[in-house]
Chain A
Amino acid sequence: MINATNLTKQYGAKTAVNGVTFSVKPGMVTGFLGPNGAGKSTTMRMIVGLDKPTAGSVTVNGKRYRDLSAPLQEVGVLLDAKAVHTGRSAFNHLRALAATHGIPVRRVHEVIELTGLGAVAHKRVGGFSLGMGQRLGIAAALLGDPQTLILDEPVNGLDPEGVRWVRQLTRSLAAQGRTVLLSSHLMSEMAQTADHIIVLGKGRLIADAPVQDFIAGSSHETVRVTSPRANELAQALLTAAGPGSRARIDPLGINQLQISGYTAAGVGDAAAELGIPLHELTPVRASLEEAYMELTENDVEYRTGGTLEETKR
């Protein structure tokens, strides 16, 4: 259980995290989303005491992280940036980390096997690929068999097999009643992994809901239509909607359209009125990605498109 209360972090004049209150509950995977620079990593760093909050507080199982008597056993953490000395081997890195808590070397071998690092365990970390580095970071997080797991972008750089493994691992840990906080930019992966979603935008909490509710709250429902007279139907729908409406029609393929701003019933009625035959009429629910994009539209700090600008809220 992680509880953040009015958590705030300022770096000079910039407010990275702004009065965020949330709790991460045990027994489920909580997805931590937000555009780059939204404050996710800063929040995670404050949870494990690397950064000191400017205001507010955050506790793990009711205690501040620094007051835990066995931090590695309470919380396993993988941070976004590398946190390993490049000159040391993976095995020695884990062994040194284990030594702080009196964790036996047997457990070091276990996590090395578990994360598939066996073949490279005695090679220096400096030569690791991004994926191998991630596996080592996950191994370090699992070392203390922690009750709470915090993983910042764990699948970044992993191969498809590794991505699937992380999904199954986090789900099984949550099923054991542990607390899992997971950040990722891969929405399809998050949709399959997370039970609950917390979204930050520009340092503020903008959503905190179960995944189903989060998606259902999106207005981004579309209708897929197939018709031999698709063009005619599209023209009619756009004309009927009039200028300034939210209606939007994209061609999907031959005689197929994706329509937003209309319900399936609306499209069907319009087609019947014009005598246009329909071969398919399917309402399509928004994906997590669409719901997320819609929600964070105004909170993207670094927007693609050439210039780096603060977007207006």
Chain B
Amino acid sequence: MTATATIQAPPRASYRLSFGGLLNSEWIKLRTLRSTLWSFAIMILLSGGLGLLMATSIDTAGTGDFAMTPIGVVQAATSGSVMIGQLIAAVLGALIITGEYSTGMIRTTLTAAPKRLGAFIAKAVVLFISTGIIALVSAAASYLAVALILMGRGQNASLFDGDVLPHVLGGALYVACVALFALGLGTLIRSGAGAIAGALGAILVLPVVLSLVPVEWINNLRPFLLDAAGSRLASGMMGDDWTFATSALLLAGWTLVSLILGVFSLLKRDA
């Protein structure tokens, strides 16, 4: 810094706050944090590893109790990548906003976009698309791992067999929505630990609790939980009465409620 430096005198350039600019900004913010990149890398690696593990340990040739068809292994591996993906997406979605609160970055974000809603929507869009794409890549990694092992045994399994592809797409949609669900909670709670606990609690703990309570109508709520919607979309399990559309609607409901609570808090409270 030199003592004589001053900033340019007018005429000045003309800048403008825009939603496109906010999208671009959030995209830069997402990919310039190591924690995001690590989360995505781990998601893909674990999914590939899971596929490898399943394909090598599962008997795909025999007819015994533990034997599976090749396509069955592909389905198990790709839905397994959703199980992994949902956990990482929950952490990522929570941290992407609570990290801004804990570091003070939120004040920079909100002075640049004082109406707030635009910045939040931009953040949600960037998070949803990137997490969805990484979830698809993760499923592809686990599929490839399985396909490679099977190929070594002279077997093959296609992504286009049976219900595999719809479930891969459904699973990725679920994982991306879990990230948004955690984003909403994080915006509401503003604490990383609290938001992660809340999101993982909704996915992992709530189902167990509901099943354990010895009251029938509470047990009957089980299929309406967030993770149940995910299971149906990613693997077709849990719920013969549900279609792809109704499960997706349920998923959207959970996600929107969380996002709306988050937006309400963001607009009403001081930053």
- Which residues of chain B have a CB within 8 Å of any CB of chain A? 1-10, 12-18, 21-22, 24-26, 28-29, 32-35, 99-100, 103-108, 110-115, 119, 270-271
Residues of B within 8 A of A92 (CB): 28-29, 32
A161 touches B3 (CB 8 A): yes
**Chain A residues within CB distance 8 Å of chain B:** 45, 48-52, 65-66, 68-73, 75, 77, 79, 81-89, 92-93, 95-97, 99-103, 107, 114-116, 135, 140, 142, 144-145, 161-162, 164-165, 168-169, 172-173, 176
Chain B residue contacts of A168, Cβ below 8 A: 3-4, 6
Residue on A nearest B103 in the bound complex, by CB: A85
Give every chain A residue within 8 A of B21 (Cβ-Cβ): 99-102
In the complex, the answer to whether B103 meets A165 with C-beta atoms within 8 Å is: no
Q: Across the interface, do A114 and B5 meet the contact criterion of CB distance under 8 Å? A: yes
Chosen A-B contacts, 14 in total, with CB atoms closer than 8 Å, are: A48-B111, A48-B114, A50-B271, A69-B17, A73-B12, A87-B33, A89-B32, A92-B28, A100-B18, A103-B13, A144-B15, A145-B13, A165-B3, A168-B4
A48 to B114, CA, bound (A): 8
Q: Are B9 and A176 in contact (CB-based, < 8 A)? A: yes
Given the known inter-chain contacts A100-B21, A101-B15, please indicate yes or no for A71 contacting B112, CB distance below 8 A: yes
Given contacts A83-B104, A99-B25, contact A50 B270 (CB under 8 A): yes
Query: Do B103 and A82 touch (CB < 8 A)?
Result: yes
- Residues of chain A within 8 A (CB-CB) of B35 are 87
Give the Cβ gap from A309 to chain B, nearest Cβ, in Å: 27
Nearest chain A CB to B17's CB is how many angstroms away? 5
Q: B32 near A102 (CB under 8 angstroms)? A: no
* B32 to A: closest C-beta gap in Å: 4
Contact check, A99 vs B10: say whether CB atoms are below 8 A apart. no
User: Do A83 and B107 touch across chains, with their CB atoms under 8 A apart?
Assistant: yes
CB–CB A51/B271 < 8 A: yes
Residues of A within 8 A of B22 (CB): 99-100
- Specify which chain B residues have a CB less than 8 angstroms from the CB of A45 in the assembled complex: 270
Name the one of B8, B105, B115 contacting A84, with C-beta atoms under 8 angstroms: B105
Which chain B residues border A75 with CB–CB below 8 Å?
111
**Distance in Å from the Cβ of B89 to the closest Cβ of chain A?**
19
Residues of A near B13 (CB, < 8 A) are 103, 107, 145
